[in-house]
Each structure stands twice: as structure tokens, then as C-alpha cells.
């Protein structure tokens, strides 16, 4: 998968030489080596580290190398060792004067950080898009009451919208992790050379600014020996979290989808489902299966940098491969795209979900809660009463809303026997039945963060605000990088013209 394209167009300013920034080229290693060399020439020339008389020739040579590399099908060297001979061919050996105080160590560390930075912004964009779809779906299903499950068993009624907001909260933490990791990656190693700096008074801060970094890696040893290994490992952890969140959602849907009469299905067509070659009644959940596989692939790839970084001396290249680390990020993007498609293809049947709730006893805990909250009955005593009601109902195949009130009174009398509480069930028949109503249970929740309407309004707004904040963050970071690179191109373009 190619890194994102750098397609900045300079504002109608014509310079002697080739306006390279106006051309489209992938922001790969070759691209960043070109930008690093541009920044080096501009900074060192202006600060007296490079003879200004030689600058135009050196700049023109670099322009030729970049132009040639941008031609269709041209080779784009990805290392300093393979890039430099092209510079020498284009501008003579004097061009190596720009190598003052530099090493392939800091140059490679810099382009790895720059590419990983771009990758994270692509991941953040897709994460935000998937989360936005989820939050919008949650808003449409605030009043859709469905069973939720714990330990694989139907547990309590809930708003489907509330359930989706729970998953969105997990993705928001992934978004936080991206922003936090980005801040650590968005630091320039340039000017640290191999591991302890150089005797050349290089302007590291200005170099970082030209390349769109927010700052520098402070410790020269850390720059290429420690942090450059940490970065892909940390990104792998983010990808792992996203993949696990994806897989959990899919497995929950799969459990329901496999039922004879599920309350959640997939729209047919568009590769969402496919028919069995032998069993005509089957509608296999293709999008669920493929996205789960993508999530599993993401976990597998994300473990790569961790394993490669294990038991190596500082700075070794094992976990630093650009293509491999981009593939790790791309695997998470693919899983998120699949998840987004799943959300768009879900078909929810509120009547069927309510039927399932009313055919089981997922509302039974509410009996114990109401008896304690309103009538001060200790929870464990109330829980025992509710449990006995459920046991009796299941043994006699009685649904919650059909349970005989008279039988409930008998069970209650037995449950409180030996306690100081009255033997009469304090709940009226009307209250008893209302307590077992899944819709009423959800609406009557009072806890902050619950599915009751007032809290859903608050949480949906908060979730949308977070999505918007993430989108604005991505736009800001992309603008910072693009503006810096455009400024560098403008300043470099001036060097192609020999001073009068």
C-alpha cells in the first residue's frame, strides 16, 4: 500500500529549475530523502555551513535527481547510500558537502518517523469515520430495546443505541492512543548523526520545522537507537487494540446472527451475505467473516514489531522496516473499513428483540433492585426471591409477562421466611408486571452513563463532539505538515537561481 500522496501545488511562483513540489509523488523514503536534502541545503547555505557559491549547482543536482525519480516507472532509491551516487552524478562530488554532520542513521530515522506519522493520520481518519457511522446508528436506535449478554448468556435489556455508544467509547480510547503516540513520533531525529551528535553546529530545530515536525528528539542516542524502535512497537499496540475491538463486536453479532430467529440480520447483496452451495436456506455472513479475518490479520501483523524488537541490542533495524510497519497500519484501516460496512448493513428488528426479551428473564434483577430501593429489602433476599421466580417460571415454561401474581406472592413469603420482613409481597400486581417490562426498565435507569433518554441525549452529543474533535485534529496535523513542506519548497526554489 502506497503512503499518502504529496500533491502540494506551489502558488504560481516560477523558479529556475523544476517545480518538483507541483508534481504528485508518494511520500515514501525517496520523497523524504529529497525533502531532508532540500532542508539541509537551505539551512546550511543560509547559516554559513555550505558555500553559497556552490549552492545553486548542488540545488539543481538535487532537483534533477528528484525529477528523474518522479518519472513513471523510475527507480526511487530508499537509502542514503543509494541516493547519494545519483546526487554525485548530477552535481559532482561537491554535492557531498551537504553530508556535513549527517548519517544514514538519523536520516533513515527521520523518514521512518515521517512516514509513520502519515500512516497514523490515515488510521485516525478511518477510525473517526467508522466511529461517526456508529454514533449516528446509535442515535437512530435510542429506543430500540434489545438483550445484552454477559458470559455468552442473555443478561439484561438495554437500548441498542447505548450498546453501540459503549463500542464507540472503546474506539475513542483508540483515537486518544493515536493522538498520544503521534505526539511522540512527531519529533525530528535529524542532526543527531549516529548516536551522539556532531561537531557541526547544525540547526536541528529549523530542520524539524521545515519537515513539519513539532520538535526534536532531545537525546541524540535516543533518536536512532531507542525511540525509532519504540515507535513501530507503540503503533502495533494501537492496531492491536483496534483489531480486538473490531473482533469483539463481530463475535457478538455472530452469536445473535446464528440464532434460528435472530433480531439482527444483514442486508443481502453487496457481498454482505452469500448463499451456501449446498444448503439453500443459508445466508452466510460474508462481511462478518471477512472483517473478523482482517482483524485477526491485523493482530498478527501488529505483533511483528514487538517480536522483532525483542532481545536485540539498541538501534538494530529489525523492527524498523517501512513497508512492514505501513502494512501493520493498513491492516487496521482495512478492518475498520469492514466494520464501517457492517454497521451500514445491519438490519435490526425491534419487535423480534423485544419478543426475545419477553421470552426470557433478563429483567429479573429489577425485581431485587426495586424491592431494595423502594421497600428496603436486602438485595440478597430480593435476589433469592427473583431467582426462585425464575426457577419456577422456567420449570413451567412461563414467560415473564405471563407470570401469575399469586404464585409470586407465595414465593415471596417463602423467600422472607425467618427474616424480620413482612411475609406479604409489597409490590402490587401492576408494579410487579411493570418491573418485568424491558422497555420500562431501560427508561427508568437513573445512573449517569445509563441508557435512559436524558443520558442518551447527553452521551450522543458528547460522542459527536469527540468525533468532530478528532477530525479537526487530523486536519490540523495534515495542515502543519503540508504547510511546512510547501514553505520548504518555496525556500529551496529560490536557491536554484544564482545570486547576482
Sequence-ordered strand ranges (E) for 352-455? none
pTM of the model: 0.89
Query: Cell digits for 28?
Result: 515514501
End-to-end, the C-alpha distance of the chain in Å comes to 46
Beta pairing partners, 264: 348
The CA-atom distances, in angstroms, between 341 and each of 140, 291, 344 are: 17, 9, 5
User: Positive or negative, the Cα torsion across 105, 107, 110, 114?
Assistant: negative
Distance CA(188)–CA(358), nearest Å, equals 60
Please write the tens of the pLDDT for every residue from 334-349: 999 999 999 999 999 9
The CA-atom distances, in angstroms, between 214 and each of 185, 209, 323 are: 10, 7, 24
Over the chain (500 residues), the average pLDDT of each successive run of 10 is: 36 31 75 98 96 95 97 96 97 96 96 98 98 98 93 87 98 98 98 95 98 98 96 98 97 89 87 63 79 97 97 95 97 98 95 90 88 93 94 94 94 92 93 91 92 97 98 98 98 74
User: Positive or negative, the Cα torsion across 248, 254, 259, 263?
Assistant: positive
> What are the DSSP calls for 158-205, one per residue?
EEHHHHHHHHHHHHHHHHHHHHHHHHHHSEE-TT-TTTT--SS---HH
Q: How far is CA 10 from the centre of its chain?
A: 32
Distance CA(240)–CA(370), nearest Å, equals 41
Amino acid at each position: 500500500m502506497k503512503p499518502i500522496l504529496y500533491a502540494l501545488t506551489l502558488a504560481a511562483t516560477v523558479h529556475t529549475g523544476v517545480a518538483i513540489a507541483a508534481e504528485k509523488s508518494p511520500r515514501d523514503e525517496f520523497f523524504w530523502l529529497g525533502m531532508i536534502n532540500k532542508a539541509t541545503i537551505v539551512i546550511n547555505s543560509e547559516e554559513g555551513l555550505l558555500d553559497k557559491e556552490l549552492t545553486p549547482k548542488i540545488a539543481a543536482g538535487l532537483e534533477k535527481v528528484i525529477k528523474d525519480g518522479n518519472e513513471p516507472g523510475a527507480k526511487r532509491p530508499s537509502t542514503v547510500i543509494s541516493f547519494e551516487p545519483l546526487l554525485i552524478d548530477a552535481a559532482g562530488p561537491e554535492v557531498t558537502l551537504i553530508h556535513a554532520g549527517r548519517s544514514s542513521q538519523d536520516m533513515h530515522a527521520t523518514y521512518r518517523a515521517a512516514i509513520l506519522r502519515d500512516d497514523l493520520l490515515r488510521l485516525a481518519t478511518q477510525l473517526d469515520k467508522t466511529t461517526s457511522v456508529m454514533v449516528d446508528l446509535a442515535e437512530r436506535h435510542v429506543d430500540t430495546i434489545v438483550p445484552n449478554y454477559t458470559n455468552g448468556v442473555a443478561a439484561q435489556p438495554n437500548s441498542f443505541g447505548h450498546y453501540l455508544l459503549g463500542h464507540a467509547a472503546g474506539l475513542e480510547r483508540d483515537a486518544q492512543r493515536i493522538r498520544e503516540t503521534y505526539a511522540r513520533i512527531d519529533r525530528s531525529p535529524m542532526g543527531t548523526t549516529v548516536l551522539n551528535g556532531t561537531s557541526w553546529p547544525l540547526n536541528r530545530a529549523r530542520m524539524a520545522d521545515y519537515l513539519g515536525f513539532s520538535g526534536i528528539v532531545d537525546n541524540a542516542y535516543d533518536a536512532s537507537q531507542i525511540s525509532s524502535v519504540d515507535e513501530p512497537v507503540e503503533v502495533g499496540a494501537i492496531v492491536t487494540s483496534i483489531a480486538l475491538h473490531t473482533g469483539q463486536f463481530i463475535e457478538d453479532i455472530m452469536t445473535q446472527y446464528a440464532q434460528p430467529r435472530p433480531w439482527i440480520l444483514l442486508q443481502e447483496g453487496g457481498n454482505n451475505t452469500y448463499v451456501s452451495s449446498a444448503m439453500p436456506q443459508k445466508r452466510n455472513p460474508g462481511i462478518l467473516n471477512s472483517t473478523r479475518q482482517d482483524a485477526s490479520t491485523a493482530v498478527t501483523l501488529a505483533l511483528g514489531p514487538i517480536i522483532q524488537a525483542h532481545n536485540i541490542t539498541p538501534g538494530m533495524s529489525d523492527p524498523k522496516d517501512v513497508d512492514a510497519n505501513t502494512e501493520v497500519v493498513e491492516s487496521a484501516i482495512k478492518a475498520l473499513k469492514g466494520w464501517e460496512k457492517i454497521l451500514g448493513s445491519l438490519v435490526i428488528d425491534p419487535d423480534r428483540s423485544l419478543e426475545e426479551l419477553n421470552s426470557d428473564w433478563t429483567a429479573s434483577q429489577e425485581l431485587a433492585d426495586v424491592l431494595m430501593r423502594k421497600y428496603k429489602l436486602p438485595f440478597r433476599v430480593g435476589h433469592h426471591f427473583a431467582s426462585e421466580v425464575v426457577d419456577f417460571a422456567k420449570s413451567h415454561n412461563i414467560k415473564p409477562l405471563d407470570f401469575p401474581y399469586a404464585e409470586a406472592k407465595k414465593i415471596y413469603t417463602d423467600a422472607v421466611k425467618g427474616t424480620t420482613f413482612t411475609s406479604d409481597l409489597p409490590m402490587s400486581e401492576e408494579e410487579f408486571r411493570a418491573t418485568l417490562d424491558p422497555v420500562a426498565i431501560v427508561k427508568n435507569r437513573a445512573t449517569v452513563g445509563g441508557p435512559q433518554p436524558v443520558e442518551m441525549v447527553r452521551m450522543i452529543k458528547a460522542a459527536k463532539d469527540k468525533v468532530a474533535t478528532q477530525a479537526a485534529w487530523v486536519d490540523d496535523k495534515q495542515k502543519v505538515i503540508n504547510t511546512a513542506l510547501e514553505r520548504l519548497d518555496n525556500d529551496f526554489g529560490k536557491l536554484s537561481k544564482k545570486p547576482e
